[in-house]
Chains A and B, each alone.
Chain A
Amino acid sequence: MNEGIITRVNGPIVEARNMERAGMLEVVEVGTEHLIGEVIRVRRGGLATIQVYENTSGLKPGETVYCTGRQLSVKLGPGLLGTIYDGIQRPLDRIAELSGAMIRRGEKTEPLDMSKKWHFVPTVNPGDELKPGVVYGEIQETDSIKLKLIVPPSQKPTRVKTIVPEGDYAGEETLLVAENNDTLGFYQYWPVRKPRPVIARKQLTTPLLTGLRVIDAFFPIAKGGAAAIPGGFGTGKTMTQQALAKWSDADIIVYIGCGERGNEMTEVLREFPELVDPRSGRSLMERTILIANTSNMPVAAREVSIYTGITLAEYYRDMGYHVAIMADSTSRWAEALRELSGRLEEMPADEGFPAYLPTRLASFYERAGFVETMSGDSGSVSVIGAVSPPGGDFSEPVTQHTSRFIRCFWALDRALANARHYPAISWHDSYSEYLIEIAGWWGQQDAEWKAHRDLLMEVLQEEVGLQRIAKLIGPDALPDHQRLTLLVADIIKNAFLQQNSFDEIDMYCSPGKQTWMLRLLATFTERSQNLIRKGAMLADINAITALPRLLRMKSEIPNDDKTAMANLEQQISSALDAIESNLR
């Protein structure tokens, strides 16, 4: 093994000499405690710069650096689901057993439980062709997820010589021997900074249903899409991310807590096992992988944590699953880059961020996609990144560069959050470019979905302008049809956009209920606009006794209660009929 000698220690950045044979991005172990690090710069004279993923307090020049000869990789195989890892895939539950409540540095553990036996079902026979993408076996990892063992992309094409029969196997046991004597087991490694290969990328046509009305109806994201949630502190980024992790219709969720609060990860750990996935009926934790690099954990591991997360996501995508990955927050990741770049004394660009920030952001968001996998399945990775702009100012570099690489922008609004209107996604500043692509899918649920949605959106946009006038002359000075717009916009906001994530019914809104609500609100809007035009008074519409019920339908009508829906629809429509007949 190659060894080097430390010449300088400056926080997480360590310099070493005698490193002629160390490669770029090679993993090294630093000092007597074997702290994990990565070579990030190689210079003339055998000098190398290393970023260390653990606290370097007490490290001395003169100590040894041990090269490992491999790149920073994750271990892939059964047992990932339901686990919480740190940024370099060390399982935090195992670490807690080993070093107690505080994380001791230099701790090393297997990412996956190697003693656990898995029930292996072979899917190839001796003599079959063996090449990348071939599924050679299956494991029921959890009740809802079947893990496919896929021949890794690096495998040279050959044939199967022997394969073990169906049965329980554990750890590093060899499952398959190829004719060229290569062996395959449960596990494989993959370098985190390298995207896993696919056959082709496909068009995005299916929505990632989130159960959040403002997203699904107004700013939808497609499966395989990329979205950003920018917002100042306290506007509900984490709340929105957690709601998405809970209710979106992905098969697997990878949740990365990147430089955020420890208690937030604890909350997920405590809450998810108790929550039930509305589709599979299983505990949400069974489909979730957590990556935690909280704000007090070493900063270099923060930089790598989002690559670790997305590599795990791609692994499941390759089996034909739809994976959604939440990165909270990409700003902390960018700041980690800035901190390391500063210590490397690189020339800064915008606000001290390194000039390669946009490149790195692009390479992360571009790993999202709906693909045809090496085994011919369809799978997707959707990426949702939170952005924490300093002072809530969206003109800062991370928000600006991010918005170039995503197509769905959910801007969180301070005023909405202050009024405790959650999710505080602004209908004024947000956008989704996926709308057109997935309107077809919604059209199959309700042919007029797009028309309803557009009508309500128009009212909301019109209201923004009217509010400006109303602020100058008072709303009462406006003509009735404009005051109707204000009233209807208010109803849309309260009845549809605002959603209470603690309410048993309202926390998740099914697509069926959403299309119904949209239809009801759109019909109400259209008919009352007509009535006003024909001479009805705004007061008549305001006096409709069913209005409070309309406002409470989100929390009082369960997702599948067709009778209650028809009932309310009937009440609203007869009230409008009554006003209409009085006009004649």
Chain B
Amino acid sequence: MKVAGLEYRGVSSIDGPLVFIDNIRDIAYDELVEITTPTGDVRLGQVLDVTASAAVVQVFGGTVGLSQEKTKARFLGSALKIPVSKDMLGRVFDGLGRPKDGLPEPLTADRRDVNGMPVNPYSREYPRDFIQTGISSIDLMNTLVRGQKLPIFSGNGLPHNRMAAQIARQAKLLSEEVEFSIVFAAMGVKYDVARFFIDSFERSGVLHNVAMFLSLADDPSAERLVTPRSALTLAEYLAFDLGMHVLVIITDMSNYCEALREIATARGEIPSRKGYPGYLYSDLASMYERAGRLRGGAGSITQMPILTMPSDDISHPIPDLTGYITEGQIVLERDMHQRGIYPPVAGLPSLSRLMKDGIGKGRTRDDHPRVASQLFAAYSKVKDIRSLASVIGEEELSPVDKLYLKFGAEFENKVVSQGEFEDRPIQRTLEIGWEVLKILPRSELLRVSEEELAKYYDEAVTIKSKK
């Protein structure tokens, strides 16, 4: 056994968020370190690389004010752990799980390693419970299911926060009365953004059911690397130990990745794309994969990370690697936003991979999968026709193509567009879907079956004529 708390005085060099300490012994990889600054502040750090006599430590609290001589380091003998307890709901913490709301530490002896352990794929339960978010563009076209990880790909200035808050407010299951508990992690966002979420949760009366982990824009960058992990550690406890249903909202992953790049560069690692470290994929996966359900367990973790795409570029490494790990993506489109459409969910690049098993017979409605597929197919044609119209002029289009243009406009105005506080049931959403499909001639609708056409298309026409 090592003597916990053996303190070393002095460090050999300091570089960005990293501190190099020599002449140490018996230190473990990933171990937690308490750094005391010359003025007596205590900051936490973590061992990133260790040899028999030296260690590289990443300091979460930043290295400002540290000096070679007067800095003290104490190795705590274990990896970073945070307390976990049900009482943490309704509270605000910093990225390392320390109270930020002026209240005492949560009363619990249960402390968990923030890195968690990989879930055995054999022990997972395949997620397939439809979550009704009340937002048509999600429910109908990119369905969210319980236990899914579905990010929002956004850009600066787009209403991703309002949308996330709306989802947090409205998300519910059709089959059972269960409330979602919310774990919220903010990395490098501005105070007003955090405030917006707090207010929004307060207004809808769920604040007592929300745990917040905040590492704001003025907090040290290294702390951002731990913040989502702390949040997910609590979420795992709530979901897998207590059987609760947890919705985790993480914003903004782009800031997290910037912090990761900063540390990697300071360590002198070989960069891969755009200067991000080669392990960005594995690193992101170690968080995103902490979602889902366990076989035989009651609880679930549904993850909704938000990331702002640098200059709206979806092929940038951050959205790109995220899209490879998560089960789909909700992409927000600037053009639609400028035209005043809320939520500006891009029709084509958005996708939910788990949708196919969460919808249809016995879950939403029989025709749902085919209606969604038909809308996608038709809307993709709209895009083609719009670009054609911009060249030859709308007048020159064939009659069918003109109908497609009308369909496109109606689709955006009726299906996609809705109020920020409008909670649309899935049945209503499907009705609207058919309503806009009926703009198109029957012969264009190949993705839906004959029976469905008879049942909904022909019927939809009569409903319309009654009005």
Whether A296 pairs with B391 at a CB distance below 8 angstroms is: no
Query: A561 on the interface (CB 8 Å rule)?
Result: no
Q: State which of A93, A267, A419, A552 has its C-beta within 8 Å of the C-beta of B126.
A: A267
* Contacting residue for A419 out of B115, B116, B314, B377, CB 8 A: B377
Tell whether A420 pairs with B376 under 8 Å between CB atoms, given A57-B115, A60-B50, A352-B278: yes
Residue A233, interface by CB 8 Å: yes
Residue of A nearest to B381 (CB): A419
> Does B290 make an interface contact (CB < 8 A)?
yes
Per the CB 8 Å criterion, the residue count for chain B at the interface is 85
Is A263 touching B269 in the complex (CB atoms < 8 A)?
Answer: no
- B315/A261 in contact, CB under 8 A: no
Q: Known contacts being A265-B121, A502-B369, is A233 close to B289, with CB within 8 Å? A: no
A339 and B282 alpha carbons, distance in the complex (Å):
9
Check A551 for interface membership: any CB of B closer than 8 A: yes
A338 and B295 contact, Cβ closer than 8 Å, known pairs A102-B120, A419-B380, A471-B388? no
Contact A296 B127 (CB under 8 A): no
Chain B residues with CB under 8 Å of A167's CB are none
Given contacts A233-B323, A339-B278, A420-B376, whether A101 and B123 have CB atoms under 8 Å apart is: yes
**Smallest CB–CB gap between B433 and chain A, Å?**
14
Tell me if A418 is interfacial: C-beta within 8 Å of chain B: yes
Instruction: Indicate if A362 sits at the interface (CB-CB under 8 A).
Output: no
Verify if B231 is at the interface (C-beta below 8 Å from A).
no
Interface 9-residue window, one of B33-41, B169-177, B324-332: B324-332
- Asked if B320 is at the interface (CB within 8 A of a chain A CB), the reply is yes
- Give every chain A residue within 8 A of B295 (Cβ-Cβ): 101
- The answer, yes or no, to whether B348 is at the interface (CB within 8 Å) is yes
Asked if residues A393 and B315 are in contact (CB atoms below 8 Å), the reply is yes
Q: A262-B124, A269-B122 are in contact. Are A58 and B446 (CB under 8 A)?
A: no
Inter-subunit contact A57/B397 (CB<8 Å):
no
A56 within 8 A of B: yes
Count A-side interface residues using an 8 Å CB cutoff.
Answer: 78
**Segment with Cβ contacts to A, from B22-30, B132-140, B157-165:** B22-30
Give the residues in chain A near B285, CB-CB below 8 Å: 259, 294-296
A6-14, A122-130, A280-288: which lies at the B interface? A6-14
* B residues 308-339 in Cβ contact with A at 8 Å: 314-317, 320-321, 323-325, 327-329
Interface bits A95-118 vs B (CB < 8 Å: 1, else 0): 110011111110000000000000
Tell which of A59, A234, A263, A420 touches B127, judged by Cβ atoms closer than 8 Å: A263
Bound together, the chains give a CA A541 to CA B369 distance in angstroms of 31
Which one of B117, B273, B329 lies within 8 Å of A104 (CB-CB)? B117
How many angstroms from the CA of A418 to the CA of B29 in the assembled complex?
45
CB-defined contacts of B289 to chain A, threshold 8 Å: 261-262, 294-296
B377-A257 in contact (CB<8A) = no
Q: Quick check: B50 and A61 within 8 Å, CB to CB?
A: yes
Stretch from B64-72, B184-192, B349-357 forming part of the interface with A: B349-357
Contact partner of B118 (CB less than 8 A), chosen from A297, A421, A502, is A297
A96 to B277, CA, bound (A): 33
CA distance A18 to B110 in the complex (A): 40
CA distance A336 to B324 in the complex (A): 15
Question: Bound complex: CA of A133 vs CA of B368, how far in Å?
Answer: 56
Give Cα A418 to B379, complex, Å: 10
Given contacts A339-B278, A548-B443, contact A57 B121 (CB under 8 A): no
- CB-contact partner of A58 in B29, B48, B121, B147, under 8 A: B29
Cα-based distance from A471 to B396 in the complex (angstroms): 12
Contacts of B316 in A (CB 8 A): 391
A496 to B351, CA, bound (A): 24
Interface residue A335 (Cβ < 8 Å from any Cβ of B):
yes
A418 and B123 contacting across the interface, CB-CB below 8 Å: no
Chain B residues within 8 Å of A58, by CB: 28-31, 78-79
Contact A59 B29 (CB under 8 A): yes
Known A294-B289, A418-B349, A476-B396; judge A95-B327 contact (CB<8 A). Answer: no
CB atoms of B281 and A102 under 8 A apart: no
Are the C-beta atoms of B320 and A419 separated by less than 8 Å? no
Asked, given contacts A101-B123, A352-B271, A420-B377, whether A234 binds B29 with beta carbons under 8 Å apart, the answer is no
Whether A296 and B119, one on each chain, are in contact in the complex, defined by CB atoms closer than 8 angstroms, is yes
Within 8 A of A (CB), among B289-312: 289-290, 292, 294-295, 297
Given A57-B79, A234-B323, A476-B396; A102-B122 close (CB under 8 Å): no
**With A and B bound together, what is the CA distance between A95 and B396 in angstroms?**
66
Instruction: Tell me the bound Cα distance from A257 to B120 in angstroms.
Output: 13
Q: Which of B31, B121, B269 contacts A292 (CB 8 A)?
A: B121
Contact between chains at B281 and A257 (CB < 8 Å): no
Whether A233 contacts B26 in the complex (CB less than 8 A), given A102-B119, A338-B278, comes out as: no
Are A100 and B320 neighbours in the complex by a CB distance under 8 Å? no
Distance between B148 CB and nearest chain A CB, rounded to angstroms: 8
A345 to B49, CA, bound (A): 14
Residue A452 interfacial (CB < 8 Å): no
Q: List residues of chain B with CB within 8 A of the CB of A103.
A: 117-120
Name the distance in Å between A4's Cβ and chain B's nearest Cβ.
Answer: 13
Contacts A338-B278, A418-B348; A269 near B50 (Cβ below 8 A): no
Q: Judge whether A471 and B387 touch: CB under 8 Å.
A: yes
B391: which A residues are within 8 A, CB to CB? 471-472
Contacting residues, chain A, for B25 (C-beta < 8 A): 62
Which A residue sits closest to B286, measured CB to CB?
A296
Q: In the bound complex, do residue A92 and residue B28 qualify as a contact, i.e. CB atoms below 8 Å apart?
A: no
CA–CA, A502 and B290, complex, Å: 28
- Please name the residue on chain B nearest to A332 by beta carbon: B281
Residues of B within 8 A of A8 (CB): 49-52
Q: Which residues of A contact B349 (CB under 8 A)?
A: 234, 418
- Residue B279 at the A interface, CB < 8 A? yes
A474 within 8 A of B: yes
Say yes or no: is A348 at the interface (Cβ < 8 Å to chain B): yes
Tell me, rounded to whole Å, the shortest Cβ–Cβ distance linking A413 to chain B: 12
CA distance A257 to B443 in the complex (A): 41
Q: Which of A342, A390, A471, A548 has a CB less than 8 Å from the CB of B273?
A: A390
Are the C-beta atoms of B269 and A342 separated by less than 8 Å? yes
Partner of B270, one of A352, A392, A475, A552: A352
B446 touches A551 (CB 8 A): yes
Instruction: Decide if B1 is an interface residue (CB 8 Å cutoff).
Output: no
Q: Is B272 an interface residue (CB 8 A)?
A: yes
Are A101 and B50 neighbours in the complex by a CB distance under 8 Å? no
In the assembled complex, which residues on chain B have CB atoms less than 8 Å from the CB atom of A548? 443, 446
In the assembled complex, B265 has its CB within 8 A of some CB on chain A: no
B125 adjacent to chain A (CB < 8 Å): yes
Would you call A399 an interface residue if the criterion is a C-beta within 8 Å of the partner chain's C-beta atoms?
Answer: no
* A388 adjacent to chain B (CB < 8 Å): yes
A332 CA to B289 CA, complexed, in Å: 15
Contact with A along B392-413 (1 / 0, CB 8 A): 1000111000000000000000
Residues on B with C-beta less than 8 A from A59 are: 28-29
Extra pairs beyond A57-B30, A420-B376, A548-B446 (13, CB < 8 Å): A61-B52, A62-B25, A92-B120, A101-B120, A257-B121, A263-B327, A338-B272, A339-B282, A342-B277, A390-B321, A420-B373, A420-B377, A474-B397
Ordered by A's residue number, 12 sampled pairs between the chains whose C-beta atoms are within 8 Å are: A57-B115, A92-B120, A95-B120, A101-B294, A102-B116, A295-B286, A295-B288, A295-B325, A335-B281, A342-B269, A418-B348, A419-B348
Closest 10 CB pairs of A and B: A391-B315, A295-B285, A419-B380, A233-B323, A296-B289, A102-B117, A57-B30, A352-B272, A418-B348, A9-B29
